[in-house]
């Protein structure tokens, strides 16, 4: 394995002492872009063009091109507009944004300032996962430092531009990571996705035009503008520019976050993480967070870590949360846990998801506890198929995909449970 370049963008300062301090950040080129922007040296249109050229796709899971998203906003439309940062980081397997908040919060602050400037928003909110108390304090401290340095507030550096940034702590619901549920939650309502259209760009927070981006997306912006869109694009592959943070967890020797270039072979990422633990063999990989389809080892080992390659393998890059399962993994038990998660976290609003997630979990759990029936496999396929594509937001599909993919690749393990009341690894 050739040496793999690491931490070129969002984590570039993480190795430094007190990397979260404004002094460290400014000593390393921090807020220079923001100052250029305020001085009029970079126009909103130039920024959008540069972001488009960087080929960055949203890091929150859907992979929507960020430059295009920003261009939906009319900067000059009268009235308030908002920039929101999604630091809810609820997807099982994902823990990359936490380390941005903890170790490089200023780069996110700068990214939000710039994004707000581009879309014409004078107010930003960073919505942080409820359990992230320490990251929340770090980020909020960074915001205070930026205010003290005169980089936030009214008439910033005499530019005539105002920007206020608020930190908002969530209360522990996965669904609040869905962008419109997040908006409802900031508004003080029950976190429930809105039906779209209208999209946030026309009817967002408090009914006003709003752009919402993931933490990693926004934290990448200052680097894209400092080094140029082309620099970023060239780090990656044609379908997706830049670096990407992969949170590797599960059965590896060195679980953790790895910021690597898009298109890096999965094998190399696995090696970075110390390989499968205990010298065991790889059985399966969930490449993009629990909502993406599980892949058997053969397929995973052939893919590279970018959208197109993972899609070709039959899954999705999602939020870049790589869950490694070794050869002893009981796939029925794994799915039992996953279905429980979605059953717990469905917002309850729309019928197929509210009723279907519980149904799927109960059947999987029945199989897992040795009470499965032969018809359960077809029933699971049927129920997951009936949820998909018939719900308001992505959670319903996210709940159905694991069920469908586990059965696609590991149906025999479920059959074994149904026939023998135990896993293929148990000596029955």
- Give contact residues for other proteins (rule: CB under 8 A): 173, 175, 190, 195, 197, 343-352, 354-359, 362-363, 366, 379, 382, 386-387, 389-392
Q: 126 near 85, Cβ under 8 Å?
A: yes
Q: Which does 264 bind (CB under 5 to 8 A by kind): other proteins, ligand FMN, none?
A: none
In the complex, what is the shortest distance from the CB of residue 157 to other proteins, in angstroms, rounded to a whole number?
A: 39
Q: Does 107 bind ligand FMN (CB under 6 A)?
A: no
| Long-range contacts formed by 407-416: CB under 8 A, 24+ apart | 407/377, 407/380, 407/381, 408/293, 409/284, 409/294, 409/295, 409/296, 410/284, 410/294, 410/296, 410/331, 411/377, 413/330, 413/331, 413/332, 414/331, 414/332, 414/367, 414/372, 414/376, 414/377, 415/377
Assign 257 to helix, strand or coil: strand
Instruction: Based on the shown chain and the rule CB under 6 A, indicate whether residue 89 belongs to the binding site for ligand FMN.
Output: yes
**Residues of span 199-218 touching ligand FMN by CB under 6 A:** 212-214, 217
Q: Which residues, other chains included, contact 326 with Cβ-Cβ below 8 Å and sequence gap of 6+? A: 250, 251, 276, 277, 278, 280, 281, 282, 283
Asked if 64 is part of the footprint of ligand FMN (rule: CB under 6 A), the reply reads yes
Residue 60 near which of ligand FMN, other proteins, none (CB within 5-8 Å, type-dependent): ligand FMN
CB of 403 vs other proteins, minimal distance in Å: 15
Binding mask 360-399 for ligand FMN (x = CB under 6 A): ---------------------------------xxx--x-
Rule CB under 6 A: is residue 90 a binding residue for ligand FMN? yes
Q: How many CB atoms lie within 10 A of CB 198?
A: 12
Answer for the pair 199, 158: CB distance below 8 angstroms, yes or no. no
**Per-residue tokens: 256:** 């953790």
Indicate which of other proteins, ligand FMN, none lies near residue 58 (CB less than 5 to 8 Å, by partner kind): ligand FMN
Judged by CB under 6 A, the residue of 30, 44, 58, 241 near ligand FMN is 58
Region label for 278, one of left (φ > 0), alpha (ψ between -120 and 50) or beta (otherwise) = left
Q: Does 294 bind ligand FMN (CB under 6 A)?
A: no
Instruction: Pick what 305 binds: ligand FMN, other proteins, none; C-beta below 5 to 8 Å, kind-dependent.
Output: none
CA-CA distance, 350 to 352, in Å (whole number)? 6
When the beta carbons of 21 and 178 are compared against ligand FMN, the nearer one is 178
Cβ nearer to other proteins, comparing 100 with 353: 353
The residue among 38 and 400 lying less far from ligand FMN, judged by its C-beta, is 400
* Beta carbon nearer to other proteins, 18 or 362: 362
Assess contact for 279 and 285: CB atoms under 8 A.
Answer: no
Q: Which DSSP state fits 428? A: -
The first and second tokens of residue 148, run together, are: 């003290």
CB of 400 to other proteins, least distance (A): 12
How many residues of this chain interact with ligand FMN, rule: CB under 6 A? Answer: 24
What is the contact mask toward ligand FMN in residues 163 to 182, using x (rule: CB under 6 A)? Answer: ------------x-xxx---
> Is the bond into 197 cis (omega within 30 degrees of 0)?
yes
**Residue 156 per-residue DSSP state:** G
Task: Let me know: does 261 contact 5? Beta carbons within 8 Å.
Answer: yes
Query: Would you count residue 126 as binding ligand FMN (CB under 6 A)?
Result: no
Residue 391 site contact among other proteins, ligand FMN, none (CB < 5 to 8 Å, cut-off depends on kind)? other proteins
Stretch that binds ligand FMN, among 59-67, 275-283, 379-387, 399-407 (CB under 6 A): 59-67
Cβ proximity to other proteins: between 381 and 409 the closer is 381
Environment class of 298 (CB within 10 Å of its CB; exposed 0-12, middle 13-18, buried 19+): exposed
Give the Cα separation of 119 and 109 in Å (integer). Answer: 16
354 binds, among other proteins, ligand FMN, none (CB under 5 to 8 A by kind): other proteins
Residue (274 or 348) nearer to other proteins, CB: 348
Residue 417: CB minimum distance to ligand FMN, A: 28
Bridge partners of residue 244, in order along the sequence: 260
Evaluate whether 164 touches 206 at the Cβ level (below 8 Å). Answer: no
Interface positions with ligand FMN (CB under 6 A)? 58-62, 64, 69, 86, 88-91, 175, 177-179, 212-214, 217, 393-395, 398
């Amino acid at each position: 394995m050739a040496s793999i370049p690491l931490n070129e963008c969002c984590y570039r300062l993480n190795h430094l002492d007190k990397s979260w301090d404004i002094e460290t950040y400014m000593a390393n080129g921090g807020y220079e872009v923001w100052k250029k922007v305020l001085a009029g040296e970079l126009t909103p249109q130039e920024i959008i063009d540069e972001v488009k050229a960087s080929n960055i796709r949203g890091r929150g899971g859907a992979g929507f091109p960020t430059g295009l998203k920003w261009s939906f906003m009319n900067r000059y439309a009268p009235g308030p507009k908002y920039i929101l940062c999604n630091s809810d980081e609820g997807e099982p397997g994902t823990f990359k944004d936490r380390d941005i908040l903890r170790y490089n919060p200023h780069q996110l602050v700068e990214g939000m300032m710039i994004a707000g400037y581009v879309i014409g928003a004078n107010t930003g909110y960073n919505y942080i996962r409820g359990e992230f108390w320490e990251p929340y304090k770090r980020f909020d401290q960074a915001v205070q430092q930026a205010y003290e340095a005169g980089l936030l507030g009214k008439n910033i550096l005499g530019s005539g531009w105002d920007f206020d940034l608020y930190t908002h702590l969530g209360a522990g619901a996965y669904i609040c990571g869905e962008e419109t549920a997040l908006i409802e939650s900031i508004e003080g309502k029950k976190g429930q996705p809105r039906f779209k259209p209208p999209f946030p760009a026309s009817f967002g927070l408090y009914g006003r035009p709003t752009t919402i981006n993931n933490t990693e997306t926004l934290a990448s912006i200052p680097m894209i503008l400092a080094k140029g869109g082309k620099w970023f694009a060239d780090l990656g592959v044609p379908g997706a520019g830049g670096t990407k943070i992969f949170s590797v967890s599960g059965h590896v020797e060195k679980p953790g976050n790895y910021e690597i270039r898009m298109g890096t072979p999965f094998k190399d990422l696995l090696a970075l993480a110390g390989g499968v633990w205990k010298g065991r063999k790889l059985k399966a990989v969930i490449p993009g967070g629990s909502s993406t389809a599980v892949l058997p080892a053969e397929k995973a080992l052939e893919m590279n870590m970018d959208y197109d390659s993972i899609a070709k393998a039959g899954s999705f890059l999602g939020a870049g949360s790589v869950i490694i399962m070794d050869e002893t993994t009981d796939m029925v038990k794994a799915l039992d846990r996953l279905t429980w998660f979605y059953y717990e976290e469905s917002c309850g609003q729309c019928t197929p998801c509210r009723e279907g997630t519980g149904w799927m979990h109960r059947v999987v759990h029945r199989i897992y506890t040795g009470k499965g029936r032969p018809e359960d496999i077809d029933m699971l396929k049927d129920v997951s198929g009936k949820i998909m594509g018939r719900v308001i937001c992505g959670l319903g599909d996210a709940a159905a995909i694991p069920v469908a993919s586990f059965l696609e690749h590991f149906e025999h393990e479920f059959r074994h449970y149904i026939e023998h009341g135990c896993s293929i690894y148990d000596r029955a």
